[in-house]
A and B are shown apart, each in its own frame.
Chain A
Amino acid sequence: MTKYASLLFISGLAFFLMVITGFLPIGNSPMLVGNAILDSAKDQVGAANVVTSVVLAYRGLDTLGELSILFAAASVVGLVLTKSSFNKSPKEIEKPARIESEDSGFVAINAIDLIFPLLLVVGMYIITHGHLTPGGGFQGGVILAIAFSMRNIVRPKQKSVDHGVVTFIEAFAGLSFIVIGLVALFSQGNFLQPMLDQGQFGSLWSAGTIPLLYLAVGLKVGAELAGLILALNTDEVND
């Protein structure tokens, strides 16, 4: 009964939305802020990719908030999946009795070993060219995280990622993002305002601090997602 009621509701909503879409000025978006940014981004930021300019310069504070949401989610996942460690010091925590999964077969292991360095190169390329091409820290960071967690999946016994290292990279990247923002605040007057020489437009070393910020974002996202996947990958939930 509920299903029929919700089906009726959904079809009504669909009709309503389709009618609204029919009146939309498709192709002539009425938003003006985009035009202003497209006109001024080339001189103000110096990054060829305007989306990167918006993400890291015009809405940089927003990106910092986004990173904190991701950080909060990753921390809470760790907390929820290892609840017993809440009141104990790190030495008292008993390691959960892991079900020892076997390594994958010959084909999977060798394929991952072959693909792993290529994935690292692609991930770093996407991160460092975030201000020139589609891509950037978030996308490249996901590829880095996938590279490390794939190794962990084919060889469950051998820990390919050390949790301490992941935490250190994450903290370091987050800290350097905020430090760059604060340096910009005190030297230029605005938080995360683009600094340094803009260089030659469209070359790899251009756009001042934007590539540095995207590198920090990429490392942070990669480390956080790797930690998330590792946490979700534990066979036994600690009760």
Chain B
Amino acid sequence: MMNVTIEGLLYFGAISLSLIGLFGLLASNNVFRMLLALVMFEAGANLILVLSGFRENGIAPIFLGDNAGAVMNDPVPQALVLTAIVIGVGIQALALALIFRVKKHYGTLDMGIIRSKLEVEIADQAGVAAPGSNQAPEVVDVTGEAK
């Protein structure tokens, strides 16, 4: 029987958070929701990284007057996560801007519809027939309207 510690619980939470994010990335069909899932995935990964620097009875790695000789947590993962968070914000803003453009151009955020429209456009540009059979059923939106 494993004894449950607070660190174990934190690891459990961090891994669960990142896996929920990964599941959202795989399962959702909406581009914006995929971005949110990516943010969750990233948060979980950052938590795991910070936890990896934990030491038994460790305190924050800041020297104050009265804590000389105390065990301090590893500062390197914390600095790494600081970097990762900032880069994550940049990536999110970039992805959001691209989503703006996609919504403007295709009028939808649905991954399936975007992909089929994209294939038709690429085929048009290249001057070849669109992929797939011309007798295939039309792509249907969630609302049931033919696109």
Contacts and interface: CB of A to CB of B under 8 A. Distances in A.
A17 B76 CA distance: 23
A80 B86 contact: no
Nearest to A77: B97
A29 B52 contact: yes
A29 B53 contact: yes
Contacts of A13: 19, 22
B97 A76 contact: yes
B94 A77 contact: yes
A14 B15 contact: yes
Nearest to A141: B86
Contact of B65 (A53, A66, A202): A202
Contact of A63 (B19, B56, B83, B101): B83
10 contacts: A21-B15, A26-B7, A31-B77, A54-B79, A55-B83, A70-B89, A73-B91, A81-B97, A134-B60, A232-B97
Interface of A: 2-3, 6-7, 9-10, 13-14, 17-18, 21-22, 24, 26-29, 31, 33-35, 37-38, 41-42, 48-51, 53-55, 59, 62-63, 66, 69-70, 72-74, 76-77, 80-81, 83, 132-134, 138, 201-202, 221, 225, 228, 231-232, 237, 239
Interface of B: 2, 5, 7-8, 11-12, 15-16, 19, 22-23, 26-27, 52-56, 60-65, 72, 74-79, 82-83, 85-87, 89-91, 93-94, 96-98, 100-101, 104
